[in-house]
Chains A and B, each alone.
Chain A
Amino acid sequence: MFAARTAKTIKLLLVIFMVVPVLTGCWDRLEIEERAVVLGISVDLEKPEAAKEESDVSHLRGAFPVPHQRLLRVAVQIALPGRIPLGPGEGGGGGGGGSEGTVWVIDVVGHTLDDALMNLQQQVSGRIFFGHLRVIVVSEAFARHGMQNLNDYLRRNPEVRRMAWMMISKGSALEVMKAAPELERVPSLYLMSTLDNAVRLGKFPVNYVGMFWSNTSKKGQEAFLPYVEIHKEQNIQVKGMAIFKNDNMVGSTMPFDIASYMVVKGINPAGYRGFVPIGSNPEQTVTIYATSRKSSIKASIRNGKPYFKVSVFTEINMEEKISEQFSVNSSEVLKEIEDNNRRALTKACENLIEKTQKAQSDIFGFGEYVRAKLPNYWNKKVITKEAWQKMYQDVDVEIAISTRMRRVGMKAK
């Protein structure tokens, strides 16, 4: 009896001793101070001469398999553990105020993203860790050159999240990475909150990198990204949308075009203001803002071509009036404002659509409507993304906007 019991205990202990070492996951232990947490990354196109800066990390000098490939300058913003204040009360002491000292910006050159990152890893002690990557800034020049390589690397890497923001910078992306805005202690987080708040204020449609990738892949749709520029106070301005054809940026829009885009797609909240003149006198102008929008896009075939009818309904309020020469005190006046607003908005939307048609960049996803709602036509006439890009140039889009002006603020006239 006793022997049997001892034998059983020994057996059990043996099993435990065998199993415990493999259950701890020691291989992937990674202390927080041993990793270089990348918060933001920027990618610029570099002149071929910059190859001199590169040391032979991934390949021998001049032995890169694609000889005339463009060169990249990649910069990363690495969070300094311990320097980033964890709560609002903790500030001041650590970094000495501002954003200095919370991150470390390093830039390297390379032929591909991975090449550059390996050159970087050679210079940084901690393992580069992308789990907290929030912002990817790409220079316009690089985006126009094509983003396949960048998208591929980021999709492949299991640490990258699809909720990060990707943006296109007018001019150098490195400058954006190096910018140290006063408002937030961590520059990347400032960049991120610029865009997150733009979404909340209705200044930009939500467009995380995952959505950008999905839109790039779709056959009847092209992708867009926020187009930003750095200003003299190191603040970042959302300058419009960078529009894409496949993986290449093909153009950019005005900031107001973002509003037109959101009108066509019926995206809430609405954040842009519009000037609406009443009658012919330019002094009689009011500023209005939309409070909510709805839109429906109907696709049909006319004359053997896809035809889209976009019906939009917007609700607007008045925000200011530029002179005292007239008063807004009756519903008649509101009606006139509605009419004028409708005309202006229709024009704005048509302009944007025309612009995207010229660029063969269907950022609205009209093609997706054809694919989804008119599958017979799509399967016969379109099928591929390339065919839709060609066809999009001369489809007809009718915009029908109806507006209701509801409120005028606290002033009576």
Chain B
Amino acid sequence: MKDERQITAIQSAAILVSTIIGVGVLALPLFAVRAGESGAPLVTVVSVLLAFVGLAVISLLGMRFPNKSITQYSEDIIGKWPGRIGSALIIAYFAVLSALTAREFGEVVITSVLTRTPLEVTVIVMLLLAALATRNSVTTFAYIHHFYFPLLLFPALLIVALSLKNAEGLNLQPMWGNVSWVRPEMVEGILTITALFQGSFIMTTVIPAMRRPEKALTASAWAMLIAGGLYVTIVAATVGVFGSEEIKNLLWPTLELAKGTSLPANVLERLDAAFLAVWVTAVFTTLFSSYFFTIKEASKLFRLGDHKMFSFFLLPAVYVMAMLPRSILHMYEIIENFGRIGLIFTIAYPLMLWLIALVRRKRGSQ
């Protein structure tokens, strides 16, 4: 483990991008439109900025403590036991996040494609895949993400570009929407979308394995630009094509967008199958990251040298949590509420750590 400092800045950006692009992309335009109607792209931009604050803090902390992840330096900053409690909460949170990702994946698959396949099977398959993959080292982890990164980004961009020919500029105006920006729905919406970027927390695990940790912030900025840019483009395209009122009728507007988009010359009349293939990969990389974070940080919390043991040990717990939501609407209520609460762990808590580290002049060894 000592000499594993092989991850380049590009790889860590790729990890972040493919982690962020995930299961939430399907419902994203719905969340954004509920908050801001035709101002949905702007709502997304605000969320991206907010999410970037969180990611920047994590990167700055990582650059301050280049050999440690949050589980370790939080103990240095705020003391042994408070740090441990904070880390335990974050680890538990990411375990739940993994469970919800797997469940949302299962729900989409069972509703739109494999309607007769039991939910349990789709969830278990995805979780098993993630658990098996997490038995690798952090370098392999980076390679896997790096490999999938172009496979995620370019098809998604292609679908968006093709769909734009059906878009109407009028649907995107006025840019700030016909609603007030100080409603509770707006704040909730922004926070919910920000929560879709929470996977970027994986940066704290990646930095100790980066070859040049001082580049962490640059990598984060690029990653946020790419992933956030893609999210904003997807929202803009969806709103442009359907109009904000129609999106309120659609559970997964992005999927409908792919369904209504055809390759030129009728090579493929509907792209939803192609899109779902890309999306399954995106879900896998997201789940892979959050699960990897959970077990890797858990092993650090318990001072274990190796994280492999947890990968199957935690599986039943995650699976049971994935099965807890009673219905798809219940699941989305949990995802939205839980995501917003999670921002305390992924933005507020690191921010607090960073400020205390600044005040107490704590710094990791080079």
> Which of A19-27, A81-89, A94-102, A328-336 is found at the contact surface with chain B?
A19-27
B178 x A214 contact (CB < 8 A): no
**Digit string of A145-189 for contact with B (CB within 8 Å is 1, else 0)?**
000000000010010011100000000000000000000000000
Please tell me if A219 contacts chain B, counting CB pairs below 8 Å: yes
Chain B residue with Cβ nearest A375: B174
Q: With both chains docked as a complex, state the minimum distance between the C-beta of A294 and any C-beta of chain B, in angstroms.
A: 15
B256 x A218 contact (CB < 8 A): no
B178 x A378 contact (CB < 8 A): yes
What CA separation (Å) do A378 and B170 show in the bound complex? 14
> Which of A267-275, A281-289, A365-373 is found at the contact surface with chain B?
A365-373
**Residues of B with C-beta under 8 A to A371:** 38, 173-174, 178
Specify which of A15, A163, A379, A383 is in contact with B269 (CB 8 Å cutoff).
A163
Please tell me if A307 contacts chain B, counting CB pairs below 8 Å: no
Q: With both chains docked as a complex, state the minimum distance between the C-beta of B106 and any C-beta of chain A, in angstroms.
A: 12
Please tell me if A324 contacts chain B, counting CB pairs below 8 Å: no
**Residues of B with C-beta under 8 A to A91:** none
Please tell me if A351 contacts chain B, counting CB pairs below 8 Å: no
Given the interface pairs A27-B116, A27-B118, the reply to whether A214 lies near B243 with Cβ below 8 Å is yes
Task: Please report which residues of chain B, range 124-162, place their CB below 8 angstroms from some CB of chain A when the two chains form the complex.
Answer: 124-125, 128, 132
**Residues of A with C-beta under 8 A to B222:** none
B124 x A22 contact (CB < 8 A): yes
Q: With both chains docked as a complex, state the minimum distance between the C-beta of B112 and any C-beta of chain A, in angstroms.
A: 4
A163 x B262 contact (CB < 8 A): yes
**Digit string of A201-227 for contact with B (CB within 8 Å is 1, else 0)?**
000000010100110011100000000
**Residues of B with C-beta under 8 A to A372:** 38, 170-171, 173-174
Given the interface pairs A162-B259, A365-B170, the reply to whether A214 lies near B242 with Cβ below 8 Å is yes
B125 x A162 contact (CB < 8 A): no
Please tell me if B248 contacts chain A, counting CB pairs below 8 Å: yes
**Residues of B with C-beta under 8 A to A15:** 132
**Residues of A with C-beta under 8 A to B125:** 19, 22-23
Specify which of A158, A162, A219, A373 is in contact with B260 (CB 8 Å cutoff).
A162
Please tell me if B6 contacts chain A, counting CB pairs below 8 Å: no
In this complex, the interface size class of chain A, counting residues with CB under 8 Å from chain B, is: 20 to 34
Please tell me if A53 contacts chain B, counting CB pairs below 8 Å: no
Please tell me if B111 contacts chain A, counting CB pairs below 8 Å: yes
**Digit string of B105-123 for contact with A (CB within 8 Å is 1, else 0)?**
0000001111111100100
B245 x A368 contact (CB < 8 A): no
**Residues of B with C-beta under 8 A to A161:** 259-260, 269-270
**Residues of B with C-beta under 8 A to A375:** 174, 176, 178
B117 x A217 contact (CB < 8 A): no
Chain B residue with Cβ nearest A160: B259
**Residues of A with C-beta under 8 A to B242:** 210, 214
**Residues of B with C-beta under 8 A to A383:** 178
Please tell me if B249 contacts chain A, counting CB pairs below 8 Å: yes
Q: With both chains docked as a complex, state the minimum distance between the C-beta of A85 and any C-beta of chain B, in angstroms.
A: 19
Q: Which residues of A contact B (CB under 8 A)?
A: 15, 19, 22-23, 25, 27-28, 155, 158, 161-163, 208, 210, 213-214, 217-219, 365, 368-369, 371-373, 375, 378-379, 383
Interchain residue pairs with CB less than 8 A apart (6)? A28-B115, A155-B249, A158-B113, A162-B259, A210-B260, A369-B170
